[in-house]
Chains A and B, each alone.
Chain A
C-alpha cells in the first residue's frame, strides 16, 4: 500500500454536507491545511481513502473571524496566519495570538488551520491549548445541518481522538468575550530551541482582573503533559479574589497545576523534566 487517495473538493457548506453524507459507508478523512494529515498518510497510507478537501470551501462561517453575541466566532478553516493578523484577537485573547505566533513556521502558519489543530487532537496542540484556557466552545455541524456545541476542553477524548462523529464536521469555535478590563494573558512553550518546536510542555494562561487588579476570572491550560490538554480548574479557582501571590502561595499554585499532569518520557524529554519544568513555569507565571 502506498500513499494515494481520491479527493472531493466541495466549494460550499451544502456541498460539503452532501459529500459527507454520500461517504458515510466509506473511508474518508477531512483535509484542511493538510500539515498533519499528509504526514500521517505518508507514514501510514490507507486503502481506498477519500480525502474531503476543505481547502477550497468558500463558506464565510468556516473561513472567517467574526464578532457574535457574547464572543468571537473563529471558523475552523481560519489559518494560524489569519489569527495573527487579527487585531482584536491580539488585544483580547493574547494567549491565542501567542500560541499561533509560535506555531511552527511562517510557511506552516500560512496553511495550518484552527480546526485542524483541534481535530488532530494532539496533546501538544498549541492553538487547542490556548482555546481551552479561553473557555472556548466548538460548533460541530452534522449532515442534516444540525449544530451542537461542545467545550474545547471536552472536545478531545484522548490522543488523536475527538467527539466528532462520522456524520459531523467541525465548523467553528466561539471564544467568549472578556468580562474584565485587565488581562494577564500569554502562552508559554518549552522546548530545546526557540522555534519549530513541538511543545515539551506548554501552558496557556488567560487571567482577567478587575479595576483593582483583583483576579476575577482565570483560565489556565496545560499541554504535552497528559494524553489530552488539561484545564486546571483548582489552580484557576485558587487565583480568584487574589491579586498578587506571595512565595508560598506561588508554590501552592504551581502544585495545583502540576496535579493535572501525568507526563510520559519520550525522545524529546523525560517525565521527570516535564514535571519539573511545569512546576517551575507555573511558579513563574504569577511572579
Chain B
C-alpha cells in the first residue's frame, strides 16, 4: 500500500492550527461554568513537620468563602502508584508541596485571602533531602505508607540481569567506572496545571475538565480515590498547554477540586500559578548512576553493571517505574553481552518526582554515552568508530529479549558523522578564549508503545454521515504533539477524503473508546494502527454496497476525492450516496464501525525480559559546541540528528517534534535545573529556572532514516521522545573533549565548566 501515497509523507499543517492561531482554542484556563467557584490550596510552610493544629474558622467566615476542607473533612483513598499519598495531609507533612487545606470561594482573590486566614501550628522536624542519607540505618521512616515488603525508605527496586557478567569482565581490556549525577527538571508546560470539577448532587455525577494524558486510567484512579463508581465520572479533556509526561499521574489538587465541588454542589476550578507549578508539579527524577562498563581489546563492549539511586521524593508516582525504560538502554543500546542493573527509588523529604518525556532514558543514555567516550579514550580508539563497531543490527534479539526487526542505528550514526564532518572536528587544536569541538550520542527507545499496563491498546469508532463526512472517534489524546493531524492524514489517504470532510473527537470519556493514554511515543503508532483497522472494517461495509450500486467488482474499487470509482472503467459513485443508500434502503444499516487495536508486543516476565514494544526507534546525534573559557558558557552551534522513524508520516510534524525535543535536550544539558535546598525549591519561577529562548537555538539538521517497520502504520515508529534523549550526553561529551575534563553532572552550567577547568589546572600544577 506504500506505492502511491497522496498525503502520507507530505507536509501537512496541523489539523487544529487555525483554531490555535486565532485564540479560539478553549484551554482549561478558559473554562467558565455557570455558578463556578474558585479553589485554592494551602500548602505546608515546612518540608518536614508535624501538624499540631489547623484552625480554619476565620477562613470559613470570610464573605465569599463557600467551603474549606482539611483531611478531616474528606473520606478518600490514598493516591499514587504505591497508594502512599494522601490527598490532604494531617499529622505529618513530608515535603514542601504538601496540601493541608483547600478553599472554594466566589473569586480567586477571596480564595487566596482565605488561605491566609487558616492558622496552622507546626512542629518542625529535621527532614532528609539526600537519598543516600535516607538509606542510612539511623534514618527515620519518611513515608508511613511505604510498601511493607521493601526496606525502610525504599519505594521500589528493580533488578535485572542477562549474560555472564564475570566472564565478560575477564574478557575486558578496559573497564570504566563513574558516578553520574542527574538533576531535577520541571516540565514547564506553558499552560499551567488546572482542573474544573463539576459535581451534580442530584445525579451523583462528576464531570472533570482536566488535562490528563491518560483519561481512562485517570477515571479509574479518581474513582478509587473519591470512593466512587468510575462510570459516574466523566473526563473531558480541554485543549492542553503542553504535557511532556507531567499529566500521567493523578495529583492531589485534582481529587481536592472534586471534593470541593462535591461539598458545595457547584463547579470549582483550580488553576496553578507559575509558582505553584514549579513547586507542586512532579519533576524529572534526579538520580545518581554508578555505571561500570567494559570493552575488549578490539573495542567490543563486554558488559555494563549499573547501580541507580533515585530520589523518589516523599511519595511514589509513575516516575518510580522509569528503570523499566532505563534498563532497556543499559541492556540493549549497542550490542551488549552482559548487563546487571539494580535501581532503588528512595523516599526523601523532597517533592515527589514524576514522569517526563524520555521516561528515565535521558539519564540512562547520559551515563552510557559518557562511559563510551571514556572507554574509547582508554583504548585509544575513535569515538565514532567504537560506536559503529558495537551498533545494534536489524534482526537482533537483545539480551533483554527485545526483537529489533528493523534497526537504523548504524545508518543514523554514519549520517551524523558524515554530515557534521566529524572527522575534521573531533581533534581540533584547542587554544584561545573560545574553543570548539564536537560530541556524539545515540539512543534506543520504544517505538511502538510499551506494554507496561495490561493492555497497550487503543479503540477507534468511525462514523460516516450522509454528507460523506467521516468522524473519527479515537481513544487517543492530543496534547500538542500533532497526533490528530496524523490520524486525519491516514483517513484522507485511505478513504480518499479531503481535510474538510474529517472530524476528530478525542476528548470525552463518555464518548470515546478506551485507550491507555499518551506516553511512550505511542500515539501515532497505536492510534494509527487502530484507525487503519477501523477503516478496513468501514470499507468492508461500504465497498460491497458501492460495488453493487455501481455494478462492478469489489476489488476494482478505488476511494478518491470523495468518490468511489472503478479502476477498470469510468463508473463512479459519490461516497455520501453510498452512505445514504446504506442508511435508507433495507436492511438499513448505519455506516459506523468500531475497532480495537492491541499491539503485538508482550508483557515482560518477572526478570523484565520480553519483546515489550511493537517496534524500536533509534537515533544518533552529533553536536558542535563552542566553550567560552572566560565565562564557562557553552554555546551549541549545530546539532545533527539522524533518527530511525520507520517511515515519515508528516514531515512537518516530525520536524517540529525533533526541534522541540532537541531544544528541550539542550536545556536539560545546559541550563535547566529545579534547584533544591533543604527541601525548598530555590528557583520556582522563569526568572531563575532557565528555559532557552529563541536566541539560544542552534541550527538543527535533521535526517530521517526510513526502515519501514512492518508493525508500524505505513512502516512508522514512535518519534516524540527520542530527540531529547541523547542531546545532553552529546553536549557533555563535546565539552569534555574540548577541555580535557569530565563533565559527569548535569546541567553543564558555566560555573561547573569553570570549576572543571580550574580543577584540571590545579591538578596539572601539582603533577608538574
- Is the CB of A277 closer than 8 A to any CB of chain B? yes
Contact B632 A277 (CB under 8 A): yes
Residues of B within 8 A of A194 (CB): 693, 695-696
Chain A 257-280 residues near chain B, CB threshold 8 A: 267-270, 273, 276-277, 280
Contact B750 A198 (CB under 8 A): no
CB distance from A191 to the nearest CB of B (A): 8
- Is the CB of B690 closer than 8 A to any CB of chain A? yes
Contact B631 A193 (CB under 8 A): no
- Is the CB of A283 closer than 8 A to any CB of chain B? yes
From the candidates A195, A270, A287, name the one contacting B751 in the complex (CB within 8 A).
A270
- Is the CB of A192 closer than 8 A to any CB of chain B? yes
Give A122 to B688 CA distance when docked, in angstroms.
Answer: 16
Contact A192 B670 (CB under 8 A): yes
Contact B690 A193 (CB under 8 A): yes
Contact B690 A277 (CB under 8 A): no
Contact A193 B696 (CB under 8 A): yes
Chain A: how many interface residues by the 8 Å CB criterion?
A: 20
Contact B750 A284 (CB under 8 A): no
Residues of B within 8 A of A195 (CB): 693, 695-696
Which residue of chain A has its CB nearest to the CB of B751?
A273
- Is the CB of A68 closer than 8 A to any CB of chain B? no
- Is the CB of B692 closer than 8 A to any CB of chain A? yes
Give A287 to B630 CA distance when docked, in angstroms.
Answer: 12
CB distance from A287 to the nearest CB of B (A): 8
Give A187 to B696 CA distance when docked, in angstroms.
Answer: 19
Chain B: how many interface residues by the 8 Å CB criterion?
A: 27
Residues of A within 8 A of B683 (CB): 267
Give A111 to B112 CA distance when docked, in angstroms.
Answer: 29
Known: A195-B696, A196-B693, A280-B631. A2 touches B112 (CB 8 A): yes
Known: A277-B632, A284-B630. A193 touches B751 (CB 8 A): no
Question: Interface centre among B112, B113, B671, B751, by most A CB within 10 Å?
Answer: B751
Residues of B within 8 A of A193 (CB): 671, 690, 692-693, 695-696
Chain B 669-710 residues near chain A, CB threshold 8 A: 670-671, 675, 682-683, 687-688, 690, 692-693, 695-696
Contact A273 B687 (CB under 8 A): no
Contact A268 B695 (CB under 8 A): no
Give A239 to B758 CA distance when docked, in angstroms.
Answer: 29
CB distance from A102 to the nearest CB of B (A): 10
CB distance from A256 to the nearest CB of B (A): 17
CB distance from A5 to the nearest CB of B (A): 14
- Is the CB of A190 closer than 8 A to any CB of chain B? yes
- Is the CB of B433 closer than 8 A to any CB of chain A? yes
Give A97 to B713 CA distance when docked, in angstroms.
Answer: 55
Contact A192 B693 (CB under 8 A): no
Known: A269-B751, A273-B754, A284-B433. A192 touches B630 (CB 8 A): no
CB distance from B276 to the nearest CB of A (A): 14
Chain B 397-435 residues near chain A, CB threshold 8 A: 433
CB distance from B53 to the nearest CB of A (A): 24
- Is the CB of A281 closer than 8 A to any CB of chain B? yes
- Is the CB of B633 closer than 8 A to any CB of chain A? yes
Which residue of chain A has its CB nearest to the CB of B697?
A194
Contact B109 A2 (CB under 8 A): yes
Contact B687 A2 (CB under 8 A): no
Residues of A within 8 A of B433 (CB): 284, 287
Question: Interface centre among A192, A284, A287, by most B CB within 10 Å?
Answer: A192
Give A268 to B693 CA distance when docked, in angstroms.
Answer: 17
Question: Interface centre among B629, B631, B693, B750, by most A CB within 10 Å?
Answer: B631
- Is the CB of B749 closer than 8 A to any CB of chain A? yes
From the candidates A192, A280, A281, name the one contacting B690 in the complex (CB within 8 A).
A192
CB distance from A50 to the nearest CB of B (A): 20
CB distance from A126 to the nearest CB of B (A): 15
Contact A277 B754 (CB under 8 A): yes
- Scan A191-225; emit 1 where CB is below 8 A from any B CB, else 0: 01111101000000000000000000000000000
Residues of A within 8 A of B687 (CB): 198
Chain A 156-179 residues near chain B, CB threshold 8 A: none
From the candidates A192, A196, A267, name the one contacting B750 in the complex (CB within 8 A).
A192
Which residue of chain B has its CB nearest to the CB of A287?
B433
A-B contact pairs, 11 of them (CB 8 A): A2-B113, A190-B631, A193-B671, A193-B690, A194-B693, A267-B688, A268-B688, A270-B751, A273-B751, A277-B750, A287-B433
| Residues of chain B at the chain A interface (Cβ within 8 Å) | 109, 112-113, 433, 629-633, 670-671, 675, 682-683, 687-688, 690, 692-693, 695-696, 749-751, 754-755, 758
Listed from nearest, the 8 A-B pairs whose CB atoms lie closest are: A280-B630, A273-B751, A194-B695, A267-B682, A195-B695, A192-B671, A195-B693, A192-B690
